Structures are given as C-alpha cells and as structure tokens.
A = this chain, B = another copy of it.
Amino acid sequence: MNLDMIRAAAGRLDGHARRTPLLSSPFLDELAGRRVWVKPECLQHTGSFKFRGAFNALAAMDAEVRRRGVIAFSSGNHAQGVALAARMHGVPAVIIMPADSPALKLANTAALGAEVITYDRASEDRDEIGERLSAERGLTLVKPFDEPEVIAGQGTCGLEIAQQAAEQGIETADVLVCCGGGGLSSGIALALEADAPGLRVRTAEPEGFDDVARSLHSGEIERNARTSGNICDAIITPQPGNITFPILKRLCGPGLVVTEDEALAAMGQAFNRLKLVAEPGGAVALAAALFRGDEIRGDDVIVTVSGGNVDPAMFARALETL
C-alpha cells in the first residue's frame, strides 16, 4: 500500500468518479469558531465515497479476472459502490445482503444492476454462501476497506483535498474523516503525507463505537463491544483493519468522538448552511468540527461528509434539531 497506488487510482477514476467540490459557509465558520471546509462525498456517485474504492478495485483487476465478475458483502454504501462500478465496467456483481435489510437498500442495489442474494442471519453462514458462489462462478471478492486497491481509490479523495486546500491557501489544518474500518482515513492520510504534509488526518467516530480512537490511543487494535445500536450504522465496524490501522497509527492525530445528537445536529447544519444531505455516519466529522472545537487546533478545519444515504424518517429527526 503506497502513494503510487493512489496516483494510479486517480488516473483510473478520472472521468468516472466525480471530483467533489470544497464547500464552506460563513455561518458554519461562526459556529465552529474557525473556518470550516467541507468535502461532500455525499455528492459522489451512489451517494458516498465508497464508489471511489470500488471502481478502482475493479479497474485495477486483470481483465480476465474482472470479466468473471465480483462479489461483496454489504447492506449499505459499499454494496451500491460495487454494484455501480461493476455496471460501468460491464461485468456481473453479486451482493450478499441480510434478508432483513431495508427494502429500499435491497431494491437500490438491484436497480444498479447487481444480483442481490439474501441470507437469513440466524440460520445461514454468509461467508459460506460467498465462498460457494465465488468458487462456482469465479467471482472476485471486493472487501469494504482492508484491501489495498480499495484504500488507494479512497485516497484519491485526499489528493483532491490537498489540491483544493492549496487553492484556498490552507497550509496547516486538521482533516476530520468519518471513520469505520479506516479505508477512507488511511487513504486520505497517505495522500496528504505526500501532497500536503501540513494537513493531518483526525478520525471521527460515534460515541460507544470508538474502536479507532481507542486503538490510536493504545497503539494496538481495539474492538468495539457492540457492532449495532447506533444511528451511524454506515461507519460501524468491529475494529480497524490490519492494513489500515498501521497507516492510521503512523499518520493520524488523536481520534475524535461525537454523540448521536451531535451527528443529527451536524446533519441539520449541513442541510441549512450547505444544502447537503448527510447521513448520520457521514456527519460525524462535521459534528466534531462544530461541537468539539476545543479538541482541534488551527484557524482552519477540513471535514469529509462521507455519505448521504439516509432515509426520510431519519432526516426528519435531523431537521428537528434546527
């Protein structure tokens, strides 16, 4: 896993992924007490940064391997990213999803051209189903984060941040990144190390699911006690990845942690001041910038809004914070 892979990913994504803008609002600046710069990956294809890594993973495959198709386990943003990336490459995608996934997520993934295979969480083994299908059809697994070409794809977001920060004259700042398994955080950290060494990644996570913050603190991989029961479902993983964590440990500052209420309030501010739809897990970095300012240094802070795939009922809760 190295910078050259991120630069190669940028070449592959050129003309396929969106180059998202860097947004700001004087109202958010006032609320945060410093200038806040927002990288809205909710505007990326499929509504999250996951498309970057998925597209790059497919593009980097040997053509003959890719032609047989890909497989992924996900009920969320990674599923949609892989499904669209496969369709854009003209190859089949199988997405294994729990049978009790929200109907809309099942429908969306299928509408993006993927074959959706559901399993019963109680009685069936997801991995066994995946391995059988992969063997039968020669499918290649695209992992959600602990996979070099996926990290490289997410890292292209960091190359853009480096360039956009330079355009704004920002030389030093914390870059707050919504963090699940660490694919986006580690990719951005590697890109910034090379292109903007004054910018430092800080991970942002929901309270009670702060495995990365604790791991960064102890220096060892720590696990979450639970892996469900938080509105920030998109970024909840059992623990940081074996590939991502050493990168995070080497390059990131202390992790930041926010409450569910802070995430909802940040969604409300993104609606009101940036005209963006953020999902709870995609709003934790903005929440940290707005409500945990005493843990941040500098006149500028850059945050990712990593995704916007939220249902109307949850969004209505965010509107109530205004």
Interface positions of A (Cβ within 8 A of B): 18-21, 23, 26-27, 30, 40, 42-43, 47, 84, 108, 111-112, 268, 271-272, 274-278, 308, 312, 315-316, 319-320, 322
A to B CB contacts below 8 Å, 5 in the list: A26-B111, A26-B112, A43-B276, A271-B315, A277-B277
The 8 closest A-B pairs by CB, nearest first: A275-B308, A312-B319, A275-B277, A42-B275, A312-B322, A47-B275, A271-B277, A316-B316
Q: Chain B contacts of A312 at CB under 8 A?
A: 268, 271-272, 319-320, 322
- A43-B276, A275-B308, A312-B319 given; 18 more Cβ-contact pairs under 8 Å: A18-B21, A18-B23, A19-B21, A20-B21, A23-B43, A26-B111, A26-B112, A27-B108, A40-B275, A42-B275, A43-B274, A43-B275, A268-B312, A271-B315, A272-B312, A312-B320, A315-B319, A316-B319
Residues of chain B contacted by A26 (CB below 8 angstroms):
84, 111-112
* Cβ contact within 8 Å between B111 and A27: yes
Q: What is the chain B residue whose CB lies nearest that of A270?
A: B277
Within 8 Å CB of A18, what residues of B?
21, 23
Specify which of A40, A272, A276 lies most central, judged by the most chain B CB atoms within 10 Å of its CB. A272
A308 to B277, CA, bound (A): 11
A318 to chain B, nearest CB (A): 9
Residue of B nearest to A42 (CB): B275
Q: Which residue of B lies closest to A41 (CB)?
A: B275
Q: In the complex the two chains form, what is the Cα distance from A21 to B43 in whole Å? A: 9
Closest to A107 in B: B27
**Chain B residues within 8 Å of A42, by CB:** 275
Closest to A321 in B: B312
Complex CA–CA separation, A319 to B277 (angstroms):
12
Which residues of chain B are within 8 angstroms of A320 by Cβ–Cβ distance? 312
**Cα distance A175–B9 when bound, in Å?**
34
User: Could you say which residues of chain B place their CB within 8 Å of the CB of A278?
Assistant: 275
Cα separation A278 to B84 with both chains bound (whole Å):
25
Give min CB distance, A164 to chain B, whole Å.
12
A274 to B43, CA, bound (A): 7
- A21 CA to B21 CA in the complex, in Å? 8
Contacts of A111 in B (CB 8 A): 26-27, 30
User: Nearest-CB distance from A39 to chain B (Å)?
Assistant: 13
A294 to B112, CA, bound (A): 25
Query: Chain B nearest CB: distance from A272 CB in Å?
Result: 8
B residues in contact with A112, CB < 8 Å: 26
Report the minimal beta-carbon distance from A265 to chain B, rounded to whole angstroms. Answer: 13
Closest B residue to A315 using CB positions: B319
Closest to A305 in B: B275
Q: Which residue of B lies closest to A84 (CB)?
A: B26
Name the B residues within 8 Å of A84 (CB-CB): 26
Determine the chain B residues whose CB is within 8 A of the CB of A315 once the complex forms: 271, 319
Partner of A276 from the list B20, B21, B275 (CB cut-off 8 Å) is B275
Nearest CB of B to A275, in Å = 3
